Structure 1
C-alpha cells in the first residue's frame, strides 16, 4: 500500500485563493519530505469554493520543481476535446514527464457536473462519454507514432509530428476517474488504473475494488502500452503521533462545510448557509473519538493516556 495527498484547492469563505495555493504547496513539499508517494490534483472549472484548481498542469509543475521524489498526479485531466484538445494534453503530460524525470501519473476524466460541461458548450453528460473514449484511445498513439494523423468525431488532426515524446518508457501510467460500478469495470477492461473516492460503505467500496480486479484480469488489449493494475482511493485523513490529539483536531475540521460546497455544484446554487452558533447543526464530534460518540477531551500533544495503544497513528 502506498500513500499520497490530494491538493484539492478548496477555498472556504474566510480564506483567499492566494493563501490557499501557498498552503497547498507547503503541504506538498512536506509530503515529499515525509516520503508520501503521490500528490494528486484535480481539474475543476466554475465551482465556487469547492475547488479552485482549473490548471493542475501548472500547479503540479511547480510541485515537481520543488520536490525530489513525490509523483505528481493528475486526478484528473478533463480530456474531452472542448475542454482540453487531446493534442495539447499529450504535449503537456509529456513535457511534465520530462521536467519531473518520470514522476507523472496521468489520470483522465470528463468533468464532475453540468456546471462544468455546459460551461464549455457540451450539450449533455452523455456526450462526454464518447468524447473521453475517443481521446483516451488517441493520446497513446500520439506518443507512440513518429507522425500522427486522425479524423474523428470530436477532433481532427492532419499529419503532424507531435512533440515531445514522454520521458517515461513507454509512457506515464494511465488512470481514469471512477464513480459508478460500470466505470470500475470499464477501467479494468481497458487496463487503466482506477481513481475514486470513499463514497458509500466499506462494503460498497470493496465491491468496486473486486469488480475492477475481476475486469483487469480479463484485459488483453490495454488502451496504453501496458496494464496499470492499481486503484487509488481518496478519503479524509489526519495522521499524528498521538491518536487522541488527531481525533480531537479532526473533529474540529470543517469537513461538513467542504461537503456543503460539493453537493450544490450541479444546481448552480450557492453553498448552504452555515448554521449560527448554537443553531441546529449537528456537532461534528458526535461520531468522533471514543465509544458512545463522545469526542476525546483535548490533551497536550505528545502525551498519551493510559488507554492508548502503541502504534496508534491517528485516524
Structure 2
C-alpha cells in the first residue's frame, strides 16, 4: 500500500483563523509564513517515508490556497526532496481555441487579462513538465484536467 498527501498549499492568516472559520474576524495573509509551514509539511511527509505528495492548483483563491503555479511548486519540492514522488493533481492549464473569447464569463475589469494574457501555451507547458521531471529525477507525475471557467476566473 502506498501513502500520499494531497496538499492545496494552505493559506495562513494572522490570528490563526481562516476566512471560512466562524471565529474569523479578518486578518492579514501571512504569505512567507504560509510557504514556510507548507514546506515543513512536505519535509515531514518525506521524512515519514510517505510515497507521494499531490499538489492541487487554483488561481485567485487567497482564502483557501496559495498554489496557482503547481509546476513551479513541484520543481521546488523536487529540489528539496530525494525520494517522494510529486504529482500535479490537477494542473489546469488555461487554453483557448482560435477566435474564442474567455471574457464572457469574466468580470468586466478582468476581460482583457482573460482574453489576452492568461493562456498557457501547450509547448511551454510540455517544457515546464519536462524540466520538473528532470529536476525530480523521474519522480514527477503529471496530471492535467479540465478547467472550470465558472470558478477560478471569477474569484
1:140-163 Cα distance to aligned partner (Å, 9 max, x none): xxxxxxxxxxxxxxxxxxxxxxxx
**How far apart in 2 are the matches of 1:19 and 1:111?**
29
**How far apart in 2 are the matches of 1:16 and 1:69?**
29
Q: How does 1:86-101 map to 2 (within 5 A)?
A: 86-101=122-137
Q: How does 1:159-238 map to 2 (within 5 A)?
A: none
From 118, 127, 142, give the equivalent of 1:106.
142
Q: Partner of 2:64: helix, strand, or coil?
A: coil
Q: Partner of 2:131: helix, strand, or coil?
A: helix
**How far apart in 1 are the matches of 2:40 and 2:148?**
27
Q: Which residue of 2 aligns with 1:10?
A: 10
Larger gyration radius, structure 1 or structure 2: 1
Q: Which has the higher contact order (CA 8 A, sep 6+)?
A: 2
Q: Name the CA shift for 1:50/1:33 in 2 (closer, same or farther; >3 Å).
A: same
Q: Partner of 1:107: helix, strand, or coil?
A: coil
Question: How many equivalent residue pairs?
Answer: 119
- For residue 93 of structure 1, report the CA deviation from its aligned partner: 0.8
- TM-score normalised to structure 1 length: 0.35
Structure 1 gap segments, 5+ residues each: 120-265, 269-315
- For residue 57 of structure 1, report the CA deviation from its aligned partner: 1.3
Q: Which residue of 2 aligns with 1:85?
A: 121
From 43, 48, 65, give the equivalent of 2:57.
43
Runs of 4+ displaced beyond 4 Å: none
Q: Name the CA shift for 1:24/1:12 in 2 (closer, same or farther; >3 Å).
A: closer
Please give the root-mean-square deviation of Cα atoms over the aligned residues, in Å.
Answer: 1.9
- TM-score normalised to structure 2 length: 0.69
From 36, 42, 47, give the equivalent of 1:28.
42
**How far apart in 2 are the matches of 1:112 and 1:51?**
17
- For residue 50 of structure 1, report the CA deviation from its aligned partner: 1.5
- The structure with the greater share of residues assigned to strand is 1
- For residue 7 of structure 1, report the CA deviation from its aligned partner: 2.5
1:115 pairs with 2:151: yes
**How far apart in 2 are the matches of 1:113 and 1:80?**
9
From 78, 84, 97, give the equivalent of 1:70.
84
